[in-house]
Structure 1
Amino acid sequence: MTKQAPIEDVPIGGEMIRLGQFLKFAGLLDSGGEVKEVIAEGMVSVNGEVDLRRGRQLHDGDVVEFEGHRRRVRP
């Protein structure tokens, strides 16, 4: 059984953030180009499911996973 990484809460200072913005805000990626590429390649999941939409709206409690790192959206 593989141990999952702990989930880190990331306060976003609002009610909603887009997936592409969140990946940068949470420190998982540095540039919009990187964000576009990894999302298009299916390397990012939201709440356990791969999501290919950079503009997906994230809300309180959504969990984003990328390369073993897990971040939860908090207002």
Structure 2
Amino acid sequence: MGRVGYALPTRRAAKCLEFLKTWKDAGIPNADILRAMTINGYRVSETEKICGPIKAGFFADMIACPAICSTTSRR
């Protein structure tokens, strides 16, 4: 039986934030990052009918970060 990799939630969260920081450091606007991490990623995986859009009835893994995340571009 093969091994399954698992990262503790704190390590996983740190890796995710590290990954997102590379996008911010590249100057990608918050709204574009949000789209890439939600609907666009689900379109690529052909699951956008159940996941991705930020609206009622859809599944999503998200956190709210006041003053960090925004649906408007900041440059």
Higher strand share: 1
Greater C-alpha radius of gyration: 2
TM interval, shorter chain, is 0.3 to 0.5
Higher relative contact order (CA 8 A, sep 6+): 1
Structure 2-normalised TM-score? 0.33
Structure 1-normalised TM-score? 0.33
Higher helix share: 2
